[in-house]
Structure 1
Amino acid sequence: MPSPLLLPLLTCAAVLLVSGVAKLRDPASVDRAFTALEVPTVLDRSPVRRALPWAEAVLGLWLLVTGGALLLLGAVLVLVLFLAYLVLVARAVRRPEPVDCGCFGALGDDRVTRVTVWRNVVLVAAAGLAVVAGQRDVALVPALSEPATWAWLGAAALASLAAVLVTHRSTGSADVTGGSEPEVDEDGNYLRTAIPRAQVLTEEGRVALLRDQTNRGAHLLLFLSPGCTPCQSLSHEVAGWADDLAPLVVVKAVVAGSPESLVVGLGHLKGHAWFDEFGIARAAFAMSTPGAVLLGTDGYLAGGPVHGEGEVRAFVEDVREHLRAQTDVTAP
């Protein structure tokens, strides 16, 4: 009978191999993860970022092919790595704004939640059992000579496949954004609703009521979170969009955080940012990040809300086209 300690050993190896290969296929995800998870400066170096996917893949293979003292050493390294990952995601989930980790490159759900923390707790436990396997000289290669091992591995693989298929949700049926959708009537026409009573903080720390701000012109609000990977990409477009849509539409990034966020990686938003430190505006619009909504000058929504990077970009382009059409009509 094969040792039950083979299962956590194989689990750690599979996770490391999948994670390493996924990161190698999408190197930018490693950069985004280091930024979003606020990896300590001493480790936040380009050589470390480039080496991490290879290290994961090598450790995964190490657990599969070694035994004895080498297996024990590899298992200890994996335990240390998984503990570090656990600390990073545990810190991230306590932050007020959503955080994307890119833990498995382009695979899986990027958003760090309590489920992410529990997943990493399970991986730390598996790595701990892998250390025990190394101490007891339980290795995969010798066990493969026993026919019972193959039957046991096949049953474990079948159970894992069944669990994946049962819990799988297609992207078409899943609500991936978690935000509200624009209201429409029976004919599918957009219904304008009143601007919610919500407030934000200005860069100077003053409270600003959204309804009052629209007296000075229409406002396009882009809801962003510092730890959200698509938000980081959109944040670099804000200044350009503000120039394109001025003077008819004011563009503001509503950042999930305090005005101090401008000092930490968001300096390029200076002059174009409001802050929603306690999530009041996000809750009022039932908004996820990234998201966008257009506030009219008459106290009603003029478009949106929309959610997701692609939808936000398309929404901004629609607003731009609408303004361009208005300009063409009014031109002499």
Structure 2
Amino acid sequence: MPTDALALAPVVLAVVLVVSAVGKLRAPTASAEAFRDLRVPSVLSGSLVVQALPWVELLLAVALVVSGGSLGVVVAAATLLLFTSYLVLVVRALGFDEDVECACFGEFAPGRITRRTVVRNAWLVVVAVGALVGAAGGSSVVARIADGRLPWWWLGGAVAAAVTTWLVAGATSASGVEAARVPTVDEEGDYVRQRTPALPVTLGDGSTSTLRALSAERPQLLLYVSETCGSCLPVIEAAPVWREQLPQLDVRLVLRFGPESSTLGSTQEPLSVHDTEGLVYETFDLRTPSALLLGADGLLAGGPITGSTAVPEFVDDIRAELEAALGA
């Protein structure tokens, strides 16, 4: 006969899976980008898999609570396999050259993968093991409540604990990341232009400059990318086209490593920009891919904007404004 603690493990996991599924359904683009950035094997990262994953999570959530007997063991084992896979992916991502966004819970808990992410996923694996051991008892959670072996208030307590933990930790984390990415605006919703910081950078030919100096004569559209970032590929491939479409700007790739260590480094004008000290990355809290527009008047003109979909939209807005200005 399983203990109450083991019987509640599937309830906690069910809440986690529901939150995860709803978050993915509300932010499908972020989930697809996370699959690319985590370098999930192609056989497991197709569009059908990405679209089906949240529905699988919802199905597992329901099955964890209502399934008993052999089926309950199979469901618990599948859940353990899923959370173990998530753990392997985040541990592996910590070894990548660039930071990776985690969309494990879709829009509810975005953010960079850190050791804390690993601890969280490892704990979920432990809970999943408890659910599997509990499933060996033969009865579902619903059956245990119905026959009085699991008091209903235990179930309510488990759900309350899981939801409260998410509200305190997950929702706060998500809002904090969102706030860090949203450009500064005033009370009327207008972009507040700030002075371009004089952050030192290395250029593609090995010379040095600062962001403020680069934008002293011409506006600069900086594209923060990485050659190992799957979500960056559309931005990297579009950069030459944007240079032709935006002759009023210098469109430059910004890279984390020096010219000698980057396959995207360029010695042709406009030279690539290399943030070897990570100062641009830290100052603007950038992710890959991101875009930042520096005005020739020494002030920030737009951004930072993050995402393989948001960056092209940002460039389209810039092009539309320039065309409107020329037409006027």
| Range of TM-score over shorter length | 0.7 to 0.9
| 1:170 shift after superposition | 9.8
Deviations 1:246-271 (A, max 9, x none): 1x3211131345777768xxxxxxx8
Structure 1 residues 291, 152: CA separation in 2 closer, same or farther (over 3 Å shift)? same
Partners of 2:58 and 2:107 in 1: CA distance: 16
Where does structure 2 lack aligned partners over 5 or more consecutive residues? 265-269
Q: For residue 242 of structure 1, report the CA deviation from its aligned partner.
A: 2.2
Task: Write the letter of the residue equivalent to 1:308.
Answer: I
1:132-184, CA deviations, whole angstroms, 9 ceiling, x for partnerless residues?
A: 1123335313212145521211233334444445554498x746353797799
Task: Determine the C-alpha separation between the residues in 2 that align with 1:20 and 1:124.
Answer: 17
Q: Distance in 2 between matches of 1:72 and 1:227?
A: 39
Amino acid at match of 1:39: V
Residue 102 of structure 1 is matched in structure 2 by 103
The gaps in structure 1 that reach 5 residues or longer are 264-270
Give the alignment of 1:54-133 within 5 angstroms: 54-133=55-134
Structure 2: distance between partners of 1:22 and 1:7 = 23
Q: Which residue is 1:176 aligned to?
A: 178
Q: Work out the CA distance in 2 between the residues paired with 1:69 and 1:236.
A: 51
Give the structure 2 partner of residue 294 of structure 1: 294
Asked if 1:157 corresponds to 2:159, the answer is: yes
The answer on whether the counterparts of 2:23 and 2:106 sit within 8 Å (CA) in structure 1 is: yes
Q: Is 1:243 aligned to 2:241, yes or no?
A: no
Counterpart residue identity of residue 153, structure 1: L
Residues 179, 287 of structure 1: 8 Å contact kept: yes
Tell me the number of residue pairs that the alignment of Structure 1 and Structure 2 aligns.
312
**2:321 corresponds to:** 321
Instruction: Output the amino acid matched with 2:136.
Output: Q
Distance of aligned partners of 1:125 and 1:63 in 2 relative to their CA distance in 1, 3 Å threshold:
same
Take 2:99 and 2:59, find their aligned partners in 1: how far apart are those partners?
31
Q: For 2:26 and 2:176, locate their aligned partners in 1 and report how far apart those are by CA, in whole Å.
A: 25
**Offset at 1:121?**
1.3
Residue type matched to 2:94 in 1? V
TM-score, scaled relative to structure 1? 0.71
**Percent of paired sites with the same residue:** 29
> Structure 1 pair 32/272, CA: closer, same or farther in 2 (3 Å)?
farther
Letter in 1 for 2:155: L
With over 3 angstroms needed to count, the CA separation of the structure-2 counterparts of 1:254 and 1:103, relative to structure 1, is: same
CA RMSD of aligned residues (A): 4.4
**TM-score normalised by L of structure 2:** 0.72
Taking the aligned partners of 1:159 and 1:99, their CA distance within structure 2 comes to 29
2:303 paired with 1:306: yes
Aligned to 1:268: none
The corresponding residue for 2:267 is none
Q: Distance in 2 between matches of 1:315 and 1:301?
A: 20
Q: Judge conservation of contact 2:226–2:255 (CA < 8 Å) in 1.
A: yes
